[in-house]
Amino acid sequence: DTEVTQTPKHLVMGMTNKKSLKCEQHMGHRAMYWYKQKAKKPPELMFVYSYEKLSINESVPSRFSPECPNSSLLNLHLHALQPEDSALYLCASSTDPFGNIQYFGAGTRLSVL
Amino acid sequence: QQQVKQSPQSLIVQKGGISIINCAYENTAFDYFPWYQQFPGKGPALLIAIRPDVSEKKEGRFTISFNKSAKQFSLHIMDSQPGDSATYFCAASMGVSGSRLTFGEGTQLTVNP
């Protein structure tokens, strides 16, 4: 099973709301990633967790707050987002320590009004 | 030096034809070159990958050709089918801790019936 599950599939939120995106994998992968993808563009890396510790933060604004409660679960907490944050948010996991082979979820389509 | 340049941006091919997508890189430290396929509403999925010690890798109708001296690699889709219509991203990464995937800008492939 090479499945990465993301919920919700769609999310609409106002600029003052607080919401969370959830990502789950049961492949035993110890590296997990958050990406942001705009239409017709490649995924942009936001955060990397390795063995449940934040290892890479690509200078993402603090209104995005990642959390890795355990080795199977990754959350992205959202607060006071801007309309330009509307995008597809992708979670991925990797079994190798260098992140060469990544398995992506289907993403959460986020709209900020 | 971290960029991966991909062309063309879009490609239209007739069913049964050959689709060719090209990528070029500058950083000689890259040592893993995957291709991802993304359908609308889905996350990217690993299609095929190659390391620089191999000049060609074939999996079914998909072939990667790799030219280390030219720092170029390409994806060939033989006998293209309408079901291959998707966006294709080439990528590159380094085999070191803290590495990340560097994506090309993507190619939108349309295979007409």
Range of weakest confidence among A108-112, B19-23, B50-54, B105-109: B50-54
Pick B42's closest partner by Cβ from A102, A103, A106. Answer: A106
CB B97 within 8 A of CB B5: no
Which residues of chain B does A104 touch, with a Cβ-Cβ cutoff of 8 Å? 36, 43-45
CB contact set of A29 (below 8 Å; sequence gap of 6+): A93, A94, A95, A103
The pLDDT of residue B2: 66
Mark yes or no for CB contact A48/B100 under 8 Å. yes
Q: Note which residues in 14-53 of chain A have CB less than 8 A from chain B.
A: 40-43, 45, 48
**Could you give the dihedral angle defined by the CA atoms of residues A32, A37, A42 and A48, in that order, rounded to the nearest 10 degrees?**
-20
A23-66 pLDDT tens trace: 999 999 989 999 999 999 999 999 999 889 998 888 899 999 99
The pLDDT of residue B38: 97
Would you say residue A96 has pLDDT above 80? no
Q: Mutation test of the interface with chain B: which of A33, A50, A51, A102, choosing the one with the most B Cβ atoms within 10 A?
A: A102
CB contact set of A62 (below 8 Å; sequence gap of 6+): none
B82-92 pLDDT tens trace: 999 999 999 99
The pLDDT of residue A67: 96
Angstrom distance (rounded) from CA B96 to CA B113: 43
DSSP β-ladder status, A4-7 and B33-38? unpaired
Q: Calculate ∠ Cα A72-A95-A93, nearest 5°.
A: 50
pLDDT band at B98 (very low <50, low <70, confident <90, very high): low
The pLDDT of residue A101: 86
Tell me the percentage of chain B whose pLDDT exceeds 90: 85
The pLDDT of residue A1: 58
Q: What is the mean pLDDT of residues A71-78?
A: 96
Would you say residue B1 has pLDDT above 70? no
Would you say residue B97 has pLDDT above 80? no
B35-47 pLDDT tens trace: 999 999 899 999 9
Would you say residue A2 has pLDDT above 90? no
Closest residue in B to A58 (Cα) is B100
The pLDDT of residue A4: 96
Would you say residue A82 has pLDDT above 90? yes
Print burial letters for A50-79: b (CB count within 10 Å at least 16), e (below 16). Answer: bebeeebeeebeeebebebeebbebbbebe
